[in-house]
Amino acid sequence: MEVLPVYTYDHPILRKKLRPVEEITEEVIELALAMHRTMKNADGIGLAANQVGRDMQMLVIDLSHTEGNEDVKPLTVINPAIKAYSEEEVPFEEGCLSLPNLRADVIRPEAIQVKFYDTAMKEHEMEADGLLARVMQHEVNHLHGIYLFDHLSPMRRALLKRKLLGIKRGEVETDYPLWRDEG
């Protein structure tokens, strides 16, 4: 089962605003499948295309192995747009496969309304709250070149300096493959 290596802090592709998907090709379908495998292998609940080095507005989510979400079907989300946010905001401790072994509290709206396309280019409009709204916002951030690092305060970044440098140098233990610059 082929899994893709995950790009980590601070590869420039994690900073990129990704290109919308214009048509569903075999390449898009295959990437979606590979992203689901990669996410599952890493025990993740969400993954964006630039985290596997691809410039494409696509993300995958799977909450089915988390408590209380066993019935939530895995999602492949293309060209998403968050249309509305709840006024209520809540804190939650997030992780990110691109920042291994690091967690940070992030305050986000509790509920959202999101529009996206699936791999048949069928349009969906969905309301989400709780963990699904949380993951969707985290992954949509990725597609705009924003990720967990940007939610760390300057103080936290300073405290984590050594750890971040370790991640940057690939000196970090993970249960999933990380992308390495061969040069």
Give the residue numbers annotated as catalytic, written as ranges: 139
Distances 119 to 58, 111, 126, 143 between C-alpha atoms, Å = 10, 24, 16, 17
Least gap, CB of 144 to Zn ion (angstroms): 12
Measured from the CB atom, the residue of 116 and 139 that comes closer to Zn ion is: 139
Measured between alpha carbons, how far is 11 from 4 in angstroms, rounded to an integer? 16
Least gap, CB of 147 to Zn ion (angstroms): 5
Applying CB under 5 A, the span of 80-88, 92-100, 101-109, 174-182 interacting with Zn ion comes to 92-100
Query: Total residues contacting Zn ion (rule CB under 5 A)?
Result: 1
Taken in order 76, 82, 86, 91, the sign of the CA dihedral is positive
Question: According to the binding rule CB under 5 A, does residue 143 interact with Zn ion?
Answer: no
* Among residues 28, 39, 56, 96, the one that binds Zn ion under rule CB under 5 A: 96
Least gap, CB of 63 to Zn ion (angstroms): 15
E-strand ranges in the chain read: 46-48, 58-61, 75-85, 89-95, 103-109, 111-117, 123-129
Measured from the CB atom, the residue of 24 and 156 that comes closer to Zn ion is: 156
| Cβ-contact 37, 77 below 8 angstroms | no
Binding residues for Zn ion, per CB under 5 A? Answer: 96
